[in-house]
Amino acid sequence: MDDNQDSTACLTDSKVSYVLSNVAEVVERILMFVPTKSLLQIASVCRLWRNCARRVLRTRQQPTWVSASGPSNTEVHVLCSVLAEEVEKVFLLPKTVLAMVDCETFSGQAYCYRQSKAKRSRYSPDTVEELNLLFPKGCDIMGITTPGIVLTPTGSCCSPPQEYQEGEAGFAVLFPAIEGVHIRPFHFCKKTISPAALKEAGLVDNPELRVVLLFVYEAYKSGGARFLNQILEPLAKSKALVAGGLVESVFSPPRHCCSQGAYGAVGLALSGPKVQGASVLLDQDISNPKAAEATIRRLKAAKIPERNTLGFMFACVGRGYNYYSNQNNVEAEAFHKVFPNTPLFGLFGNGEIGCDRIVKDDYTLCDNDTDGLQHEYTTVMTLVHLG
């Protein structure tokens, strides 16, 4: 009896081994359920598995994200702690990462303990290096600190987004290589800004430029306003959607060209025929939930597909619960009502960049000048579609 069982088991194992070594369709089907980091390790088993893994990776063209909030139980910021676990589970190969954390507990200007140990900075050069090690070599990581965070919890795009104007919070949006979409990070300071640098970044003389996410740090310092205009003037003349805000600091990429505390700008230039975008401005007159929802609903006119679309919210620190008579999460909830299947990310900052604009296919609705792109006490609500 035991001999028969052993013989049956050997025969079964032999058939399984044959299928996994020769039938690509079966192998690919199995690999569809394997996270990317494990998939890259599996690819070294044999040529068949390597080819199957490559084909599976090419199908993973949807952005994903990791978000976290609440006090960290470790020495690092809560987002860094959660990222270390969650990147093992993602189903894409990150090409670009946009990370934002609150500046209260993660200060790019502090490299040691603050005076109060209870409010210790969770930033150090080692933290940035550890963050870089979490992602593949060659992955572009943009790390920003800002007074407040807007995020969608990890897991489902249907989860209600949350606004965090206080406390520890952060998110990282992971972009894979996407066919028909080119995402180019850029960084300028007063030493590197020039027409040639703008062109190299794809911000001028680029007919395929569709969306620019722009974040300016230390803009309040002398020369900061003129510096910002150098970037916005050519963008205002283009057909691209421009959205972003004035943030506290940048911790990645490292700033080798300028001194600590100098002003500068980072961002993402999104180009390609598949990229679409739309934005609306919630101005100072929008001060109740009903009016906020009505303004956000105007984004529906763009008819942007839900799949592969991200929402971005860039709000003034003066808005939020104080602006809405101590009501929490007003604008994020309004967005979720209108776009229940679109994840929302963003910040509360020291100034907003954007306007009412639709960029779709080969046309743009609503041109604007440089002054019309800069605001205070407003919120810029944006949709970005990646094909």
Walk me through the domains of the chain, giving residue ranges and CATH numbers: 5-59 (1.20.1280), 64-385 (no CATH)
The string of pLDDT tens digits covering residues 313-351 is 999 999 988 899 889 999 999 999 999 999 999 999 999
User: Which burial class, exposed, middle or buried, applies to 261 when counting CB atoms under 10 A from its CB (0-12, 13-18, 19+)?
Assistant: exposed
pLDDT at 112: 30
pLDDT at residue 12 tops 80:
no
Q: 43 — phi, psi (to 5°)?
A: -60, -20
Average pLDDT, the chain: 85
pLDDT at residue 109 tops 50:
no
pLDDT at residue 118 tops 50:
no
The candidate with the shortest Cα–Cα distance to 161, out of 11, 299, 42, 315, is: 315
pTM to 2 decimal places: 0.85
**Do the beta carbons of residue 373 and residue 242 sit within 8 Å?**
yes
The model's confidence at residue 365, banded by pLDDT at 50, 70 and 90, is low
In this prediction, what percent of the chain has a pLDDT beyond 70? 87
Partners of 96 in the beta sheet? Answer: 140, 175
pLDDT at residue 191 tops 60:
yes
Most confident of 95-99, 117-121, 233-237, 357-361: 95-99
Task: Provide the 3-class DSSP secondary structure of residue 190.
Answer: coil
In this prediction, what percent of the chain has a pLDDT beyond 90? 52
Mean per-residue pLDDT for 8-25?
71
